[in-house]
Every structure is written in C-alpha cells, then in structure tokens.
C-alpha cells in the first residue's frame, strides 16, 4: 500500500489525500469518522482532506441521509483522467519548450551520463523506438530480453538491423554476428560492454561490470557517434574475416589470437603467410 500511496503523491496528492483515497478504494461508502479510523488520518483533519479530494473529483458523497458517506472515483477512471491530463499537459509543454529552445547554442557536443543498469537499457530501448533507418548493436545475451521487443518493432518499421552478440542467442530480427566470448575477450573488455548506434545520429556506450554499478554515456556528437559505429562495424568485419579465413588465421596466430591483438607488433611475416594461405584456398 505504501507504494501505491507514494505513486499517488507523485501525481500531486498530499500524504493524507493519498492515504484517504487508498482507504476508500479498499472500503467504499464509509463515514468520515470510519475513514479516519481506517486511514490513520486525525479526525480533526479528515473533513478537510475529503473536501480537497472532492474538489479534485476523486471522491463523492453517495448518501446524504444521516451521516454522509464517501466513495472513491473508480480507480480505472481516476488513472485514465490523470493520464489524459498529463498527456495534454506534456504535449503542450513540449510544443512551447521547442518554441523557445536555442538548439544552435547547444549543438550536439554534449554527453549524458547514465547510472544503473535499467537507466542504460531504457535509453537503448528509447533509441531503438526512435530509429527509422538503421540500428547497430553490440550486446551480451543477458541484455537482449530487455531490448528484443524494441528491435522487433524497429524491424517492422523497415529499419536495417545488425547485431554483434557476445555469446549465444538470437533477437529474431536483423543480421546477427556471434562473437566468441573467450577468456581474451572478457579480459580485454574488463566487463560486459554494450554499444548501440541508431541512424548514424546518436550513440550509447554501456559498461556492465561484474561488481559495481553499471553506467553509460550517450551523445549525438558526430565524432562520438562515428567512433561507436566503427567499433561495432569493425567487430562485425573481424567476425566475417574469421569465418572465411579461420584456419589460416589460427595457424599463424593460434586459437586465442593473442599475437593478432598485439598492436605493437606488425607481424609482417605472419601477414605474408596469411596472404599465401588465402591465395592457396582461392
């Protein structure tokens, strides 16, 4: 009940008003005295609280003979009324704010920091819902359930989708590249990382450590977006190359390919060996 009362207070009801409404929902058609006993509202305050709820059209008087009895507006109708009110308010507020927004003074260079797993995944879902042309996603299987329905909806709108998945699984739409989650990959990343780029216009990088609070950064900065897009595309390109030349690559660099990851060693003899092996296969 405390959660319900807290939600009602977020909608603008006072603590006493929320307690009174919830008590009336549980026990309609009670007197003010009975309501005070059931809700814990002081008897000296209960009439004032009921009058405020009547002014908000959340409570009505159902019997006037003898002591008045009070009943709540049906919960479904109360919620619908608030939903209509807030939708109208937010639509009008958005239009008026856009009219005074000085976007040219801000540009697209700012970065938003996100804290917590749900905040990061919710932002990713929001980006997918707004995408109209393309979604590039690099994610781990345990992140997919929160995002799959949004990917499916984007696919239905005609957006192109490519997913680099670090492990098993399938979102059911788009082209899926399965990246091996071996020891070296986990060591390189140090955590589960998620990258999403939509319409080459905004990007989100999420960081999900084994211990600690997940976080992320979002930006529409074109340099940031292009960097994130290149990150996802390069992983997909590497997967395609490994699929095609896996035997030759393993022979030169080993199954863990640690020497391939050593960017400070050009490995020119190995590059030549791969070229020879590829020519032989052709």
pLDDT surpasses 70 at 80: yes
Count CB neighbours of 174 within 10 A. 19
Q: What is the pLDDT of residue 190?
A: 73
If one compares 273 and 264, the residue with the highest pLDDT of the two is: 264
pLDDT surpasses 90 at 15: yes
Gap between the Cα atoms of 18 and 222, Å rounded? 47
- Cα-flanking dihedrals φ and ψ of residue 190, to 5°? 75, -5
The residue extents of the domains of the chain are 2-76, 111-238
Retrieve residue 12's tokens: 């603008």
Count CB neighbours of 273 within 10 A. 15
Q: What is the pTM of this model?
A: 0.63
Domain 2-76: give its CATH code: 1.10.10.10
| Edge-first strand listing for the sheet containing 192-198 | 111-115, 215-219, 202-208, 192-198, 134-139, 160-166, 175-179
Gap between the Cα atoms of 58 and 78, Å rounded? 7
Q: What is the pLDDT of residue 160?
A: 96
Q: What is the Cα gyration radius of the chain?
A: 29
Rounded mean pLDDT of the chain? 86
| DSSP calls for 175-217 | EEEEEP--HHHHHHHSSEEEEEEETTTEEEEEEE-SSS--EEE
Signed CA dihedral, 20, 21, 22, 25: sign only:
positive
- The mean-pLDDT minimum among 23-37, 128-142, 183-197 falls in 183-197
Q: Over the range 219-251, which residues count as b (16 or more CB within 10 Å of their CB) and which as e?
A: bebeebbeebbebbeebbebeeeeeebeebbee
If one compares 42 and 97, the residue with the highest pLDDT of the two is: 42
- The mean-pLDDT minimum among 31-35, 84-88, 99-103, 190-194 falls in 99-103
If one compares 110 and 122, the residue with the highest pLDDT of the two is: 122
Closest CA to 194 of 208, 176, 181, 183: 208
Class of domain 111-238: alpha beta
Using 50, 70 and 90 to split pLDDT, how confident is the model at 181?
low
Using 50, 70 and 90 to split pLDDT, how confident is the model at 179?
confident
If one compares 213 and 107, the residue with the highest pLDDT of the two is: 213
**What would the mean pLDDT of 116-122 be, rounded to a whole number?**
94
């Amino acid at each position: 009940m405390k959660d319900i009362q807290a939600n009602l207070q977020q909608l603008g009801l006072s603590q006493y008003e929320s307690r009174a409404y919830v008590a009336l929902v549980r026990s309609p058609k009670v007197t003010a005295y009975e309501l005070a006993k059931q809700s814990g509202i002081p008897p000296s305050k209960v009439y004032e609280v009921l009058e405020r709820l009547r002014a908000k059209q959340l409570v009505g008087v159902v019997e006037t003979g003898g002591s008045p009895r009070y009943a709540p507006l049906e919960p479904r109708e109360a919620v619908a009324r608030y939903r209509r009110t807030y939708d109208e308010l937010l639509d009008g507020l958005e239009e008026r704010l856009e009219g005074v927004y000085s976007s040219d003074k801000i540009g697209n260079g700012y970065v938003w920091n996100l804290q917590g797993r749900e905040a990061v995944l919710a932002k990713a879902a929001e980006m997918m819902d707004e995408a109209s042309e393309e979604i590039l996603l690099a994610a781990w299987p345990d992140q997919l359930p929160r995002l799959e329905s949004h990917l499916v909806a984007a696919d239905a709108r005609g957006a192109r989708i490519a997913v680099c998945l670090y492990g098993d699984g399938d979102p059911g739409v788009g082209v899926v590249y399965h990246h091996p989650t071996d020891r070296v990959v986990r060591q390189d990343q140090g955590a589960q990382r998620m990258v999403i780029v939509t319409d080459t216009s905004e990007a989100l990088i999420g960081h999900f450590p084994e211990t600690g609070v997940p976080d992320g950064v979002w930006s529409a900065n074109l340099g940031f977006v292009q960097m994130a897009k290149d990150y996802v595309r390069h992983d997909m390109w590497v997967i395609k190359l490994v699929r095609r030349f896996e035997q030759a690559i393993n022979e030169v660099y080993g199954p863990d390919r640690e020497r391939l990851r050593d960017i400070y060693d050009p490995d020119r003899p190995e590059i030549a060996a791969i070229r020879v092996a590829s020519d032989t296969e052709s």
